[in-house]
Amino acid sequence: MAVYDAARVSRAREFATEFGGAGGALAAMVLLPAVVYYLWICVEFYGGALQFPRTALLAHLAHAVPTWKATIVYLVWLAWQALLAWIGPGPSGQGALLPDGHSRLTYRYNGLFAWYLTLVAATALHVTGVFPLSTLYAEFGPLVTVATIVATALAALCYVGGRLSGRTNRASGNPIYDFFMGSVLNPRIGSFDIKFFVELRPGIMLWFLLSAAMLAQQRAAYGLVTTSMLLVVFYHACYANACFKGEECVPMSMDIAYENFGWMLSFGNLVWVPFVYCLQAYYVLTITPADIPRGFALPMLVLHMVGYWVFDTANSQKDYFRNEGRALRDAFPRLPWGRLRHPETLSTARGTPLLVSGWWGQARHMNYTGDLLMAWTWGLTCGFGSVIPYVYAVFLTLLLLHRLRRDERECRLKYGTDCRPRRVLTGLREPCRSAGRRRARKATAARQNTNGSIR
């Protein structure tokens, strides 16, 4: 089953310009790093209170000048993750159809191995005092700068490499825009896929370790760990684990299957994800010993677990369907209703079926609903003293609304009249016309009568 026709979508959108073209790309490359520094300054020096941008804030950037320690830590971190990705054990599989219309790349899925080994190594280094996790807190500003330099340099190398090799993909001809969006789809060094590596490994793991560093610093500085800190670090651990247990489905995502690798993905994954997403834990550290009431903590934990269940099982149902019923790795935790034993599908004029049962029969992108429920719960767990813990939730909401519009456009391109979006919840839509599910049930019943069952 071809789950994503990259060739057809690429041809249909090769002249499309997103994010405001070259002007929007240039603005993003200037403003996004500034936003990261601004949020860090507000948390570190002003207790989470937003400050009106002024020249006095620039003085705090002296604390973000790269240090030798931060440089060595970050480069060793990247080397460690690259080594695990290169030699770590794990199954292999093929990705989405490439723009040539017939070939696919092979990926090795050893992220779960790297995740657990990294947790063990980080714990050992912290407990023995060789590398206390609180070092990441002490070097936070310099680490942001080093990561930004590395992300920009990596994007530049891939851009130049794509131009020199002649393997450019959907290039607009504008160097600013093409540097931002990328000039090559799958930059590789041998079998090592740079985009696939950057998508999860360094950023997601570092996000969790930075949050854990805030917990370690809180304990070291105040002799206690607050309930809100425990919850926030637990939330982030759950999300990171979910990313790596589902790694084998990442090659089918739009980032891997469609987006070129440029500054947007490089900066987003290496800088924005780890250093912005951890700010909830950072903020909780700065307001110690303030804490949320115990009676408020339990509802927050329940909301997170509900959101996680919806997010995890909706993605799992989709992934099993995309993999044509083949068993995925039995990674922890495997939750109830994560796999539909007899999924209902809708045949389309394009020839590929649509899933119209389980979560995907209720509304389109229920995984987005779970994701958003978690994101807003994480912010609420930090209280109401600052808007910074809600930056992630606001960013994710805007991002998913953008993806929703993009997904609807892709659906119309791929399935034509078989896909008629109808809003059912904020950010959600039904996959097909209302008669679709009735047709799917009839088709399912007919196949069951003929074959006994379907996968």
Establish whether the linkage from the previous residue to 389 is cis, with ω within 30° of 0: no
Average pLDDT over residues 158-170: 85
Per-residue three-class SS string for the chain: CCCCCHHHHHHHHCCCCCCCHHHHHHHHHHHHHHHHHHHHHHHHHHCCCCCCCCHHHHHHHHHHCCCHHHHHHHHHHHHHHHHHHHHCCCCEEEEEECCCCCCEEEEECCHHHHHHHHHHHHHHHHHHCCCCCHHHHHCHHHHHHHHHHHHHHHHHHHHHHHHHHCCCCCCCCCHHHHHHHCCCCCCEECCEEHHHHHHHHHHHHHHHHHHHHHHHHHHHHHCCCCHHHHHHHHHHHHHHHHHHHCHHHHHHCHHHHCCCCCHHHHHHHHHHHHHHHCHHHHHHHHCCCCCCCHHHHHHHHHHHHHHHHHHHHHHHHHHHHHCCCCCCCCCCCCCCCCCCCCCCEECCCCCCCEECCCHHHHCCCHHHHHHHHHHHHHHHHCCCCCCHHHHHHHHHHHHHHHHHHHHHHHHHHHHHHHCCCCECCCCCECCCCCHHHHHHHHHHHHHHHHHCCCC
> If you compute the radius of gyration of the chain from its CA atoms, what whole number of angstroms results?
23
pLDDT-wise least confident of 132-141, 174-183, 365-374, 444-453: 444-453
- Provide long-range contacts, Cβ within 8 A and 24+ apart, for 446-455: 448/342, 453/342, 454/342, 454/343, 455/324, 455/325, 455/343
Q: What is the pLDDT of residues 384-419, one digit of tens each?
A: 999 999 999 999 999 888 888 877 777 777 777 666
The pLDDT score that the predictor gives to residue 99 is: 81
pLDDT of residue 410: 73
What's the pLDDT band for 453 if we cut at 50, 70, 90? very low
Domain coordinates of the chain in residue numbers?
Answer: 21-291, 294-455
Distances (CA, A) of 239 to 62, 67, 84: 33, 30, 21
Per-residue confidence (pLDDT) for residue 320, from 0 to 100: 77
- What pLDDT score does 80 carry? 98
Supply the mean pLDDT for the chain.
85
Residue 445 has pLDDT above 60, yes or no: no
| 425 vs 27, residue with greater confidence | 27
* Owner of token pair 């030699």: 87
Highest mean pLDDT among 12-16, 100-104, 171-175, 230-234: 230-234
99-130 residues labelled b (16+ CB within 10 A) or e (exposed): beeeeebebbbbbbebbeebbeebeeebeeee
CB 147 within 8 A of CB 278: no
Residue with tokens 């796999």: 339
365-380: per-residue pLDDT in tens? 888 999 999 999 999 9
